[in-house]
Amino acid sequence: MMNWAAASPEIFLAVAGMAILLFGVLLKKENAALCTMLVLGAFAATFVMVMQTVPQTAYSSLFVTDAFASYAKLLILAGGALTMVLSLDYNERQGIGRFEFPVLMLFSTVGMMTMASAANLMTLYMGLELMSLSIYVLAAFAREELRSAEAGLKYFVLSALASGLLLYGISLTYGFAGTMDFAKLPDAVTGVDGVSTGLMVGIAFVIAGLAFKLSAVPFHMWTPDVYEGAPTPVTAFMSTAPKVAPFVVLLRVLIGPFGHVSVQWQPIIEVVSIASMLLGSFAAIGQTNIKRLMAYSSIGHMGYALVGLAPGTESGVRGVLIYLLTYVAMSAGAFACVIAMRRQGKSVERISDLAGLAKTDLPLASLLTLFMFSMAGVPPFAGFFGKLYVFLAAVQSGLWLLAIVGILTSVVACYYYIRIIKVMFFDAPAPAFDTRSASVSFVAIASGMFTLLFVLALGPFTGAAEAAARVLFG
């Protein structure tokens, strides 16, 4: 009849989420930290379950588990767990420590895992909605703060528009092909001489809807405001796992069912990629708020990652997967440092607040330096390899323009990353930050170790990414 086991990690995670929700509400006491721990435990168990899944298609071919899906899910779970640890201390100090926070993050993760396993445009859409709906609430979680409420509302309104575009694209595709199944779409796509306008517009709208979630230019408008307004752990969350899920689903859709018409979508991806790289590097220069700077930085990073998608080759997809892996680690680490920026019980966010950090807190300053170098793409840190693989893939396919723009904008981006390092090491010291909690230090050090030592474990990670990428072309 039906193969239940296929989605057992998702089912387990969802059931655990509901159990934790009931536990939290029935316990009556303040129990945010306890619930966060339980959710982390559920994440760990799910992580193990994902590693043991076997490749199969299930639920009337709505859902697929393969090496690609598993790679994405593990990355999503890791990113979610890292940012959840960051929320532990921050939420308590900001007075927003409520048990719904980890539970919403958990449901958002279930949505992302569903996206990673999507084998049908409907599954994609449902997963996307589950992911986004939880994030709207999380962005507005500090509801007493005007900025947070504004961030939630802004994200909600714009994201709803993007969902509408995506649905429009899906329905056009369905109207054209009569199916939303990834396995059957290629037949419909190749069955016509030339490509129908309807299908082309459909693909364009699907890309637009997903590019919005990726905050790629020109759908990036929401990013700086929402990043700045949302509580910092939510910002950290938004810049890790919820970037991975739409990206992998974009890879799957464009390479799988629409792989035959890559001529049609390639220019769109190229334009979006170049625009994101340019905006990400130039607009970040004038920023004074570190969260806004990270927002522009994440726009730029999505642009670099899209460079790997543009060729539509196996090595390109491998490059993207490695890029996402390093990006999640660097991002989580950098946000751990941002969360550590507290003075007299208040969270501070200006870049000038980092002045002279090297003199007051050398470990934090060196960790942040490490992340900034890695984000800038300085070898031998992790970020360098992500960029290397995607640019290599672009060059191999003769997309010289993308590679050149990528390298030039990386140089521009270096300027603002290194400016932060300069502020930390050479400016007159500002008062010291409050002592960090162990959880924040843990995330910063763990991500730091990963970023620093990635070069040593390059083989296994590249191998995993390659195995995952091969699935799409199999």
Contact positions vs other proteins (CB under 8 A): 1-2, 7, 14, 18, 21-22, 25-26, 58-60, 62-63, 98, 100, 103-104, 107, 110-111, 114, 122-123, 126-127, 129-130, 133-134, 136-137, 140-141, 143, 152, 172, 175-181, 184, 187-189, 191-192, 196-199, 201
Q: Which is nearer to other proteins, 101 or 433 (CB)?
A: 101
Residues 245 and 103: their CA atoms lie apart, in Å, by 19
Residues 196 and 189: their CA atoms lie apart, in Å, by 9
CB of residue 157 to other proteins, shortest distance in Å? 13
CB of residue 169 to other proteins, shortest distance in Å? 11
Q: What are phi and psi of 413, to 5 degrees?
A: -65, -35
Element (H, E) at 375: helix 362-376
Contacts of 338 by beta carbon, 8 Å cutoff, 6+ apart: 232, 236, 290, 291, 294, 349
Taken in order 243, 248, 254, 255, the sign of the CA dihedral is: positive
CB 461 within 8 A of CB 451: no
CA max distance for the chain: 70
CB of residue 47 to other proteins, shortest distance in Å? 20
CB of residue 133 to other proteins, shortest distance in Å? 5
Q: Which is nearer to other proteins, 98 or 419 (CB)?
A: 98
Q: Which is nearer to other proteins, 21 or 248 (CB)?
A: 21
Within a 10 A sphere around the Cβ of 289, how many other Cβ atoms? 16
Q: Which is nearer to other proteins, 141 or 391 (CB)?
A: 141
- The b-or-e profile of 106-137 (16+ CB within 10 A means b, else e) is bbbbbbbbbbbbbbbbebbbbbbbbbbbbbbb
β-pair partners for 56: 65
Torsion of CA 281, 287, 288, 292, to 10 degrees: -80
Provide the pairing of β-strand 63-65 with 342-343: unpaired
CB of residue 214 to other proteins, shortest distance in Å? 20
Q: Which is nearer to other proteins, 177 or 334 (CB)?
A: 177
Q: Among 4, 122, 21, which residue's Cα sits nearest to residue 65? A: 4
Q: Which is nearer to other proteins, 10 or 353 (CB)?
A: 10
Q: Which is nearer to other proteins, 137 or 250 (CB)?
A: 137
CB of residue 256 to other proteins, shortest distance in Å? 15
CB of residue 204 to other proteins, shortest distance in Å? 8
CB 444 within 8 A of CB 330: no
Q: Which is nearer to other proteins, 170 or 294 (CB)?
A: 170
CB of residue 343 to other proteins, shortest distance in Å? 29
CA atoms within 13 A on the CB side of 26: 6
CB of residue 414 to other proteins, shortest distance in Å? 34
Residue 287 in tokens = 């920023």
Q: Which is nearer to other proteins, 138 or 244 (CB)?
A: 138
